[in-house]
């Protein structure tokens, strides 16, 4: 009779596991050491938002109702950003303003990446990411490496069954 309670708890736990995989991806050594992404709070935020977008975009392309998992991921992201802001020394009275600013940037990035993903140009998404990480001046070799990384990430996500994502499983090497 109360199976929905355990199902919901399992879904939330799986969403946390999937979010953990997304965070791990966004902190991959290849992004910082090989592609020269600055190891700053802003750059880490940009990479986390991008990887979250990639997963949310994959979920949106699947058939069926995946809105619950997507909403759980976004909720976990903002709870994580709240905690991180507090750990970085943002005061209790400044948190609401900081979270509104983050929400605005998050929405802007999601729209930017969604538009880029909809373009026929295969490296449009990588170009949008590069601009957010490096600004307008970015080495051509870095842009190419980033484009390859984005393509491989998208391919890996496309090949990952949605059931695995719902179970909190995603591996990208």
Tell me which residue of 126, 127, 124, 80 sits closest to 106, measured CA to CA.
80
DSSP state of 1: -
Our CA dihedral for 31, 76, 42, 115, rounded to 10 degrees, sits at: 80
Note the pLDDT tens digit of each residue in 45-73.
999 999 999 999 998 887 665 778 889 99
- Quote the CA–CA distance of 150 and 137 in Å, as a whole number: 19
Residue 22 corresponds to which tokens in the numbers above? 């997304």
- Quote the CA–CA distance of 44 and 25 in Å, as a whole number: 11
The pTM assigned to this predicted structure is 0.91
pLDDT at residue 94 in the model: 93
Residues of the chain falling short of pLDDT 70? 1, 63-65, 173
């Amino acid at each position: 009779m109360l199976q929905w309670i355990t199902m919901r708890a399992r879904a939330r736990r799986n969403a946390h596991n999937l979010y953990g995989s997304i965070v791990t991806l966004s902190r991959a050594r290849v992004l910082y050491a090989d592609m020269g992404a600055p190891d700053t709070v802003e750059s880490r935020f940009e990479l986390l938002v991008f990887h979250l977008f990639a997963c949310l975009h994959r979920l949106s392309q699947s058939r069926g109702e995946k809105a619950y998992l997507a909403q759980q991921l976004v909720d976990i992201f903002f709870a994580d950003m709240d905690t991180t802001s507090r750990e970085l020394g943002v005061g209790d009275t400044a948190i609401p303003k900081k979270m509104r600013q983050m929400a605005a940037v998050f929405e802007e990035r999601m729209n930017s990446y969604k538009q880029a993903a909809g373009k026929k140009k295969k490296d449009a998404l990588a170009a949008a990411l590069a601009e957010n990480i490096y600004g307008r001046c970015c080495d051509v070799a870095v842009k190419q490496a980033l484009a390859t990384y984005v393509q491989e990430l998208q391919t890996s996500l496309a090949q990952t069954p949605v059931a695995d994502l719902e179970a909190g499983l995603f591996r990208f090497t």
